[in-house]
Amino acid sequence: MFAVKSNRTVSVQKGDYQQMQSLEIPEEGRTVWLRNFGCVRLYRTRLKNGRRHYVVYTPHTGADHSPRSDFDQLHQHHWAIEEYHRALKQLCNIERFQVRGEQQVRNSIFSAVFGDTCLQVMKLSESLNSIYSVRKDALKEATWDFIKSFSEGEEWLRLFFVRAVNV
Protein backbone atom coordinates (compact mmCIF):
# COMPACT_ATOMS: atom_id res chain seq x y z
CA MET A 1 0.00 0.00 0.00
CA PHE A 2 1.25 3.47 -0.82
CA ALA A 3 -0.16 6.94 -1.34
CA VAL A 4 -0.24 8.46 -4.81
CA LYS A 5 -0.85 11.98 -6.03
CA SER A 6 -4.23 12.84 -7.49
CA ASN A 7 -2.76 13.75 -10.86
CA ARG A 8 -1.37 10.25 -11.52
CA THR A 9 -2.95 8.65 -14.54
CA VAL A 10 -4.74 5.32 -14.37
CA SER A 11 -6.69 3.23 -16.82
CA VAL A 12 -10.02 1.54 -16.16
CA GLN A 13 -10.17 0.29 -19.74
CA LYS A 14 -7.05 -0.64 -21.68
CA GLY A 15 -5.43 2.37 -23.32
CA ASP A 16 -7.87 4.94 -21.88
CA TYR A 17 -5.86 6.85 -19.24
CA GLN A 18 -7.25 9.59 -17.00
CA GLN A 19 -6.23 11.33 -13.79
CA MET A 20 -7.36 9.79 -10.48
CA GLN A 21 -9.01 12.99 -9.30
CA SER A 22 -11.51 12.85 -12.18
CA LEU A 23 -12.29 9.16 -11.70
CA GLU A 24 -15.40 7.91 -9.92
CA ILE A 25 -14.14 5.67 -7.10
CA PRO A 26 -16.72 3.75 -5.05
CA GLU A 27 -16.35 3.28 -1.29
CA GLU A 28 -15.10 -0.31 -1.72
CA GLY A 29 -12.35 0.83 -4.11
CA ARG A 30 -11.75 0.20 -7.77
CA THR A 31 -9.35 -2.00 -9.71
CA VAL A 32 -7.31 0.07 -12.17
CA TRP A 33 -4.11 -0.09 -14.18
CA LEU A 34 -1.54 2.34 -12.75
CA ARG A 35 0.69 3.71 -15.49
CA ASN A 36 4.27 2.43 -15.32
CA PHE A 37 3.37 0.06 -12.47
CA GLY A 38 0.59 -2.47 -13.08
CA CYS A 39 -2.80 -3.60 -11.80
CA VAL A 40 -3.74 -2.19 -8.37
CA ARG A 41 -6.76 -1.53 -6.19
CA LEU A 42 -7.44 2.22 -5.84
CA TYR A 43 -9.05 3.78 -2.76
CA ARG A 44 -9.95 7.36 -1.94
CA THR A 45 -9.98 8.64 1.65
CA ARG A 46 -11.12 11.95 3.02
CA LEU A 47 -8.81 13.80 5.36
CA LYS A 48 -9.30 17.11 7.13
CA ASN A 49 -7.36 18.95 4.42
CA GLY A 50 -8.72 17.17 1.35
CA ARG A 51 -8.77 13.83 -0.39
CA ARG A 52 -5.96 11.30 -0.54
CA HIS A 53 -5.56 8.40 -2.93
CA TYR A 54 -4.00 5.08 -1.96
CA VAL A 55 -3.24 2.05 -4.06
CA VAL A 56 -2.94 -1.48 -2.76
CA TYR A 57 -0.78 -3.84 -4.75
CA THR A 58 -1.55 -7.51 -4.20
CA PRO A 59 0.25 -9.50 -6.89
CA HIS A 60 -0.58 -12.96 -5.56
CA THR A 61 -4.19 -12.60 -4.40
CA GLY A 62 -5.41 -10.33 -7.17
CA ALA A 63 -6.81 -6.85 -6.77
CA ASP A 64 -10.44 -7.73 -7.53
CA HIS A 65 -11.48 -9.18 -4.19
CA SER A 66 -10.25 -6.74 -1.57
CA PRO A 67 -13.03 -5.37 0.67
CA ARG A 68 -12.95 -1.92 2.25
CA SER A 69 -12.48 -3.40 5.73
CA ASP A 70 -9.16 -4.90 4.58
CA PHE A 71 -8.08 -1.50 3.28
CA ASP A 72 -9.08 0.23 6.53
CA GLN A 73 -7.06 -2.25 8.56
CA LEU A 74 -4.09 -1.92 6.22
CA HIS A 75 -4.36 1.89 6.41
CA GLN A 76 -4.27 1.76 10.23
CA HIS A 77 -1.07 -0.31 10.10
CA HIS A 78 0.38 2.08 7.51
CA TRP A 79 -0.38 5.08 9.74
CA ALA A 80 1.13 3.38 12.82
CA ILE A 81 4.36 2.85 10.87
CA GLU A 82 4.36 6.53 9.83
CA GLU A 83 3.93 7.60 13.48
CA TYR A 84 6.76 5.28 14.52
CA HIS A 85 9.12 6.78 11.94
CA ARG A 86 8.15 10.33 12.94
CA ALA A 87 8.86 9.59 16.61
CA LEU A 88 12.23 8.00 15.76
CA LYS A 89 13.21 11.08 13.77
CA GLN A 90 11.82 13.84 16.01
CA LEU A 91 12.29 12.44 19.51
CA CYS A 92 15.16 9.98 19.19
CA ASN A 93 17.18 11.90 16.58
CA ILE A 94 17.95 8.78 14.57
CA GLU A 95 19.08 10.90 11.62
CA ARG A 96 21.41 13.19 13.56
CA PHE A 97 24.13 11.09 15.10
CA GLN A 98 27.63 12.36 14.38
CA VAL A 99 29.63 9.15 14.03
CA ARG A 100 31.12 7.45 11.00
CA GLY A 101 32.40 4.05 12.16
CA GLU A 102 30.29 0.97 11.49
CA GLN A 103 29.98 -0.11 15.13
CA GLN A 104 29.26 3.45 16.31
CA VAL A 105 26.47 3.78 13.74
CA ARG A 106 24.98 0.48 14.90
CA ASN A 107 25.17 1.61 18.53
CA SER A 108 23.47 4.91 17.69
CA ILE A 109 20.65 3.19 15.79
CA PHE A 110 20.18 0.71 18.64
CA SER A 111 20.11 3.53 21.19
CA ALA A 112 17.50 5.46 19.19
CA VAL A 113 15.25 2.42 18.76
CA PHE A 114 15.69 1.47 22.43
CA GLY A 115 14.84 5.03 23.48
CA ASP A 116 11.68 4.95 21.39
CA THR A 117 10.75 1.58 22.91
CA CYS A 118 11.16 3.04 26.40
CA LEU A 119 8.92 5.98 25.47
CA GLN A 120 6.26 3.63 24.12
CA VAL A 121 6.39 1.50 27.29
CA MET A 122 5.98 4.65 29.41
CA LYS A 123 3.01 5.69 27.28
CA LEU A 124 1.38 2.26 27.55
CA SER A 125 1.86 2.21 31.32
CA GLU A 126 -0.08 5.50 31.32
CA SER A 127 2.69 7.51 32.96
CA LEU A 128 2.71 9.70 29.83
CA ASN A 129 -0.11 11.41 28.01
CA SER A 130 2.03 11.89 24.92
CA ILE A 131 5.52 10.79 24.01
CA TYR A 132 6.16 14.33 22.77
CA SER A 133 5.58 15.75 26.26
CA VAL A 134 8.87 14.17 27.43
CA ARG A 135 10.88 16.28 25.00
CA LYS A 136 8.94 19.44 25.80
CA ASP A 137 9.28 18.96 29.57
CA ALA A 138 13.00 18.14 29.31
CA LEU A 139 13.63 21.25 27.23
CA LYS A 140 11.64 23.41 29.63
CA GLU A 141 13.55 22.01 32.62
CA ALA A 142 16.95 22.45 30.92
CA THR A 143 16.12 26.03 29.99
CA TRP A 144 15.09 26.85 33.56
CA ASP A 145 18.25 25.23 34.99
CA PHE A 146 20.39 27.29 32.59
CA ILE A 147 18.63 30.51 33.59
CA LYS A 148 19.16 29.74 37.29
CA SER A 149 22.87 28.98 36.82
CA PHE A 150 23.35 31.96 34.48
CA SER A 151 21.79 34.41 36.89
CA GLU A 152 23.51 33.06 40.01
CA GLY A 153 24.83 35.97 42.04
CA GLU A 154 22.87 38.37 39.88
CA GLU A 155 19.64 38.49 41.86
CA TRP A 156 18.44 41.56 39.98
CA LEU A 157 18.29 39.45 36.77
CA ARG A 158 15.90 36.93 38.28
CA LEU A 159 13.12 39.48 38.21
CA PHE A 160 13.09 39.12 34.42
CA PHE A 161 13.26 35.30 34.41
CA VAL A 162 10.16 33.90 36.02
CA ARG A 163 9.28 30.25 35.56
CA ALA A 164 6.31 29.86 33.21
CA VAL A 165 3.18 28.25 34.59
CA ASN A 166 0.54 26.90 32.24
CA VAL A 167 -2.95 27.31 33.55
Q: Please write the tens of the pLDDT for every residue from 148-161.
A: 787 777 766 655 65
Given pLDDT bands bounded at 50, 70 and 90, which one contains residue 162? low
Residues 66-75, mean pLDDT to the nearest whole number? 84
Per-residue pLDDT at 107 = 93
Residue 104: predicted pLDDT: 92
Instruction: Using CA atoms of 50, 80, 65, 25 in order, give the dihedral in degrees to the nearest 10.
Output: 0
Question: 151: which residues sit within 8 A by CB, 6+ positions away?
Answer: 157, 158, 161
pLDDT (average), residues 2-29: 88
- 32: three-class secondary structure by DSSP: strand
Instruction: Please name which of 45, 50, 31 lies closest in space to residue 76, comparing C-alpha atoms.
Output: 45
The residue extents of the domains of the chain are 2-64, 91-124, 131-167
* Predicted pLDDT at 103: 94
Distance CA 54, CA 74 (A): 11
